[in-house]
Structure 1
């Protein structure tokens, strides 16, 4: 296993400079996010927490995945290892979009394997980037098996939705941008599927002394289950956010990053994910996919907080929310918006 390093992320930052869109940051209204309960013996004046939204869904292809895909394709182009037959990838949708976009920029073919359950909007966008789309099975694991067979038979360069150091390092460049904009950032909150975004962001965050909060749906908890078991394990995938967070197993890089950085593990139910997504639309007219809303749900979930953030990750210490402390500066990554917004209704 390649252990992701900050050097990998710095190299990725240099490699993709000028090839991706800088992240846009937006502050959350003061008082909109509740802080954690205070110690009654603490007589210091309470300072409100400061929460920012990283609007990474405005990235090329509609998600953070463009960073890793650009880093992967460009690194192979620079090394002379990009075959004429092109690249192939299995994806729930967003990684496939990013791979197809990056491949199109380099003038090579992308063949993308995705579950037949992927949203139609993602399939249409994939074809718009010139990718050959193959619908296989109902889960990411099914698409991955078919992709691996295709790569072996054709010699296509196999990319990965999350479990590759170049992909994770590219994702980690997001934290570098956020930190330059908010130099005294305390905490970054990210949704976790397979773990590429988490591995990259957590590795960069640890280098700068920034806390990372990993947020997963209750029934889509590959990283949380791995932390609980102390090893990689398969989990059942059953969540409204499964199209982007539906990995059956997290990556070894993500587990290693979580263990090394002491990141907090938070699980949120589907109803809170839906509520956070609707709130973004109602209050800001931001339409994100459920996977992106999962990160915000950690801060907005109601009556599920347990004051155990400073304890090690163990089965009995998984949090159901994250409440910032007094004066804490937090950035929540809204990672993607490849979604059908038809069910976001304006009832005002």
Structure 2
């Protein structure tokens, strides 16, 4: 079966982003990471990345590839986003010296809107959810000639995200499993592609009511799903990418769902136990290990790395 994303795509992306993104830091993930016969759990602190999320990797790869090909138009780049991809696009555009026009749903957190404007982006708030912002972005690209990027559904974006897995593997020798949150599937597709090459299992975690990848696996094709979760600002894609579905069908991949209550609990635990203030999307990955209602249960001695993918959040609700 021909894949939609290859390991060579990830390796090429790693060369493009080297020296321009922050290498991921790894931290022990609490008592389970300190021995005692249980699994060894680590956290990949990717929320320390430029713009506060892994998205900087894909944005840098996307714009640099177009720069190398001479296909960056005078009208700049445009993207629709729940927030994080827009931040990354605006940051990468500023680094590349081109304009960025970013479309967000009106529900986007103010902290993300303010940061976007700080990067010099032209921010346009359209619609109640990501799909409506995307339609407006596509119309703008057709009218203006701006280069259309995507929050997750593009091979250059997914390959850039996959560079994270290359760094994790270098820092956690003998890694068995990597756990990632899934929205539209860009991070998952890139990480799973690299993980498969190295014989590492990938656990794809979604909120129960933002299950685009899970639904695609059940249907055998990408399908539209309802979006209703505390993590919807980052994980609220209506459908998973074809590349994500393709990656989920190969290698050792587990798809699990977690309820919002467990996502909230995991986010608070990260703050109270580790002083890590992350957004709900990042906590979704950890909820797969901590939720009593299912999720993923590592075996004794299994080396597991949980990707904490973003921290563009208002932390005021963590103090209680």
Fold in common (TM above 0.5): yes
After the TM superposition, which parts of structure 1 deviate over 6 Å for at least 4 consecutive aligned residues?
Answer: none
> Which residue among 176, 180, 191 is the counterpart of 2:170?
180
Q: Give CA deviations for 1:131-165 in whole Å, capped at 9, x if unaligned.
A: 00000001110000000000000100000000000
User: Could you say what secondary structure the match of 2:199 adopts?
Assistant: coil
Instruction: Write out aligned runs for 1:1-348 (5 A).
Output: 3-31=4-32, 47-302=37-292, 304=293, 320-345=294-319, 347=320
Q: Quote the offset at 1:244 in angstroms.
A: 0.1
Q: Quote the offset at 1:29 in angstroms.
A: 2.4
Q: Quote the offset at 1:73 in angstroms.
A: 0.5
Q: Give CA deviations for 1:49-87 in whole Å, capped at 9, x if unaligned.
A: 100000000000000000000000000011111111100
Q: Quote the offset at 1:32 in angstroms.
A: 7.2
Q: Give CA deviations for 1:27-54 in whole Å, capped at 9, x if unaligned.
A: 12233799xxxxxxxxxxx932100000
Q: Quote the offset at 1:301 in angstroms.
A: 0.6
TM-score in terms of structure 2 length: 0.97
Query: Matched residues in 2 for 1:251 and 1:48: separation?
Result: 35
Query: Matched residues in 1 for 2:32 and 2:203: separation?
Result: 20
Cα RMSD for the two superposed structures: 1.4
Query: Matched residues in 1 for 2:33 and 2:105: separation?
Result: 37
User: Could you say what secondary structure the match of 2:286 adopts?
Assistant: helix
Q: Quote the offset at 1:197 in angstroms.
A: 0.1
Query: Matched residues in 2 for 1:31 and 1:65: separation?
Result: 29
Q: Quote the offset at 1:267 in angstroms.
A: 0.3
Q: Figure out how many residues of one structure are paired with residues of the other and give that number.
A: 319
Query: Matched residues in 1 for 2:251 and 2:72: separation?
Result: 34
Query: Matched residues in 2 for 1:341 and 1:30: separation?
Result: 24
Flag structure 2 segments of 5+ consecutive residues without an equivalent. Answer: none
Contact 1:196/1:254 (8 A) holds in 2: yes
Contact 2:32/2:41 (8 A) holds in 1: no
Contact 2:3/2:246 (8 A) holds in 1: no
User: Could you say what secondary structure the match of 2:59 adopts?
Assistant: helix
